Amino acid sequence: MSIRRHIPSGFATLLPYRVTPTRMACQINRLWAAVLCFGSVMVASSAWSGSGPTALSPLEVIAKWAPLLLRGFAFNIAISLLAMLLGTIAGLWLGLALLSEIKIVAGVSWFVTQVFRNAPWLVLLFFVMFLVPFQVTIFKTTIPLPDWQKATIGFALPVMANVAEVVRGAVRSIPSTQWEAAESLSFTRRQAMWLIILPQCIKRMLPPWMNIYSLVAMSTVLASIVGVSEMLTLTAQVHAAEGGRPELFAPLYGFALLCFFLYCYPINLWTAHLERRFHVH
């Protein structure tokens, strides 16, 4: 209940009780809506199923193959984390090269950033998969390069370009007075960058960095096109193993959609929270 003071009479006025939905409650309602939507798809598929009494229902099929599908989903997450790690490390140095006072370095870095940032992710994935050899021989030692490693490199390339732009934008957003203060304290440009400027950029870079990771996590399903045994590939194999029944198509792929939604949606909420906390616009 809320109390409002009435200025002319000086008496407190008791206002009627009203429940105001909070932001967290709205987000939870959206999450439950997605789960209920998946449940409705499962019920509809079960009602549509008419393959005979011996055939498993969609829920039973998902329960039967869930461990395998979840292992495939964990593989998607592992690829996204590794690609994000490699892309972030390379993107940090590429972003610093964009800010270089040497024109040749800045120009080459700008060209690399624009190429990998504006190229379709699937094209980059095919580019790496077919141009990188299956194995590398170093000093008579053969090192195999499986498809999932090449797919990780393919996802890391656009991450590198996008992280480079995030770094460049964050550094440019720091007031020039910070550079002037560092110069007045006899800091070199490199010392000022690593000790003064970049620490201030972390809170500016974190929300867009998390958005990039969400895109990478969702894009890992593209690896199924090049033969990587991730969740979408295993989902197609499970569907074929169950006889390719039409009523299983929506539940199986709906289960994959639900897994990615339950993983990426909290990241989205956390990103929005950090943007509000750090006042990043």
pLDDT tens per residue across span 147-168: 899 999 999 999 999 999 999 9
The answer to whether the CB of 259 falls within 8 A of the CB of 235 is no
* pLDDT of the residue at 274: 85
pLDDT at 18: 54
* pLDDT for the residue 48: 47
Is residue 197 scored above 90 in pLDDT?
yes
Q: Regarding predicted confidence, which is higher, 255 or 36?
A: 255
| Predicted model pTM | 0.80
Residue 99 to residue 172: CA distance in whole angstroms: 9
* Top-confidence residue, 51 or 156: 156
**What's residue 2's pLDDT?**
45
For residues 205 and 166, is the Cβ–Cβ distance under 8 A? yes
User: Is it the case that residue 47 has pLDDT exceeding 80?
Assistant: no
pLDDT of residue 49: 47
Residue 170's pLDDT is what? Answer: 94
Packing angle between helix 249-278 and helix 198-219, nearest 10 degrees? 170
Give CA–CA dist 139/154, Å, rounded: 26
- Between 30 and 197, name the one with better pLDDT: 197
137 vs 97: which has the higher pLDDT = 97
Task: State the DSSP H helix or E strand holding residue 4, giving kind and residue range, or none if neither.
Answer: strand 3-5
Whether the Cβ atoms of residue 171 and residue 197 lie closer than 8 Å to each other: yes
Q: Which H or E run contains 217?
A: helix 198-219
Per-residue pLDDT at 226: 85
The per-residue pLDDT for range 86-126, each reduced to its tens digit, is 999 999 999 999 999 999 999 999 999 999 999 999 999 99
Give the model's confidence band at 134: pLDDT under 50 very low, under 70 low, under 90 confident, else very high: confident
pLDDT above 90 (res 42): no
What does the block give as tokens for 64? 């039967």
Confidence of residue 138 (pLDDT cuts 50, 70, 90): confident
Taking only the tens place, the pLDDT of each residue in 240-273 is 998 888 989 999 999 999 999 999 999 999 988 8
Q: Give the pLDDT of residue 143.
A: 82
| CATH 1.20.120.1200, applies to 24-176+207-278 | no
